[in-house]
Amino acid sequence: MKLSYLKPISILVIIEISIVILFICSSLKHILFQSTAWDLAIFDQAVYLISKGENPISSFLNIHILGDHAALIFYPLALFYKIYPSVYWLLLIQAFVLSFGALPIYYLSQYHGLTPSKSLTISIVYLLYPLIFNINLFDFHPDVIAVSSILWAILGAFENSIILFIFTIIITLSCKSVLSLTIIFMGLWLFCFQKKQQLGSIAMGLGLSWFIISTRLIIPIFSDNSANISRHLERFNYLGNSFAEIAQNLIFKPWLLLQGLFNLPNLEYLLLLLIPVIWGLSWQYIAPLISTVPTLAMNLLSQNILQKDLLHQYSLPIIPFLMVVLIMTVSAKKSWFRQNKYIITWSLICFLALAKYGYFPSRYLESVDTWKATKEAISKISTQGNVLTSTYIAPHLSQRAIIKLAENRSESWDFNQFNYILLNQRHPGRESSPELIETIKEKVGQNDNFNLKYKKDDIYLFTQKTKQ
């Protein structure tokens, strides 16, 4: 079945509705000062600097943005900032690509012989998968683009569209270097189980090439590679302190691997991951999950609890392949639920149980008492000068070369490097405290180079006399 034969008017309407809902939710969270420096301000700063033709050196990471994950996708994203520099571009793009993933799922369902109504139902299952909603609330990550691009790549493989296949793989690889492992294993699945040797070989070749180029060339050039590796290896330090040591321990101390895999947090993680689609998974059709081996292995072996939930970006590469298993199972009439109403009901129940829409009337209103004062203080920052502020305010001021966070150990810095110091003592942020803010406030208050320009509701804005 060719794509040109399909006229999915209903799914396009649903996608449009989803885009609007996701964009409103993420924008509202941002407006309420609940987006964070890690990672919205990091990426907003990088894209802004690229759009201005400047080196995207992250003042949060202290490296060029390519030195983090070799995410070349930030360069085309900067074209939107050339139209008008706004962090809302990232939020809109995120809402669009997450919702747009429903279209290739619709096409994949049609390819496997599902009726239009069933294809629409499977697309809605994807949109109701809790991680789709939750990751939309967690700032912005280029990984979200890969969800749609992987789905389009899979569709290109089934349709034998080599141009679509290669183009979408390139987009996927540009989002994050580690996604090269997903592409390699996707190629392995296509080669061995779908009998698509040419496309499988292309995927494995592109994935392996980008893995080598990004990890051996781009990241080392644009960062302190040893520090960057150490930052990520900390999550697996029980296995060893280097790649060589980890490999050695996996061979000679296999019990470390077993301890890392078989534990209650991992069991809970797998249940969270699978419950929303458990009704449509069959052992006979799990071959596509071979593509998820790298992601699953990293998440299961990691000691970072953030990699074991439905809130963060780490599980995103798994979603496309879960959906393919779902489609194959439903197509073979092997799913637990056959009727659309039961499928939608199950998805709704899981969404209501696991999606974090409840954060809006609770967590996201925690700092509403300082909202007005914070807005007023930000309006008094009139230049692109250097800023020291909190993690929640940073995404509203990140379009500048230097912005840093008033967090642990920042009290010992030379504050003269900043033009503006904006503090929220009542809601200082996770890595800070009212006591730390008080210390910074006292030191800056004793500095003759600064004036206290604004004070209200525990919001303090200091401006440097000579560097505004």
Which tokens hold the place of 347? 């998805």
Give the span between the Cα atoms of 420 and 467, in whole angstroms: 9
Summarised one tens digit per residue, pLDDT across range 361-388 is 999 999 999 999 999 999 999 999 999 9
pLDDT 10s digits, 90-115: 999 999 999 999 999 999 999 999 99
What whole-number distance in Å separates Cα of residue 125 and Cα of residue 127?
Answer: 6
Which band of pLDDT confidence, cut at 50, 70 and 90, is reported for residue 225? low
Instruction: Tell me the average pLDDT across 331-339.
Output: 94
What is the number of alpha carbons within 13 Å of residue 339 lying toward its C-beta? 3
C-alpha 185/C-alpha 176 separation (Å) is 16
pLDDT at 328 over 70: yes
- Looking at residue 468, what is its pLDDT? 52
Compute the mean pLDDT over every residue in the chain, rounded to the nearest whole number.
Answer: 94
Bigger pLDDT: 441 vs 250: 441
pLDDT of the residue at 5? 42
pLDDT tens, residue by residue, 154-204: 999 999 999 999 999 999 999 999 999 999 999 999 999 999 999 999 999
Residue of 449, 456, 380, 463 lying closest to 425 (CA atoms) = 456
C-alpha to C-alpha distances, 290 to 137, 168, 192, 196, 334, nearest whole angstrom: 29, 19, 10, 15, 20
Task: Read off the pLDDT band of 465 (50, 70, 90).
Answer: confident
> What's the pLDDT score for residue 227?
60
Other CB atoms within a 10 A radius of the CB of residue 348 amount to 13
pLDDT digits (tens, 9 = 90+) for 276-317: 999 999 999 999 999 999 999 999 999 999 999 999 999 999
Burial label for 249, CB within 10 Å (0-12, 13-18, 19+), is: middle
Q: pLDDT tens digits for 7-66?
A: 567 999 999 999 999 999 999 999 999 999 999 999 999 999 999 999 999 999 999 999
pLDDT in tens, 451-464: 999 999 999 999 99
pLDDT band per the 50, 70, 90 thresholds, residue 6? very low
Question: Sorting pLDDT into bands at 50, 70 and 90, what band is 420?
Answer: very high
Residue 398 confidence (pLDDT) = 98
- How many percent of the chain have pLDDT more than 90? 87
Helices (H) and strands (E) in the chain, counts: 22, 7
Q: Give the bridge partners for 420, in sequence order.
A: 387, 463
pLDDT band at 230 (very low <50, low <70, confident <90, very high): low
Cα angle 456-460-464, degrees, rounded to a multiple of 5: 135
Which of the four pLDDT bands, split at 50, 70 and 90, describes residue 231? Answer: low
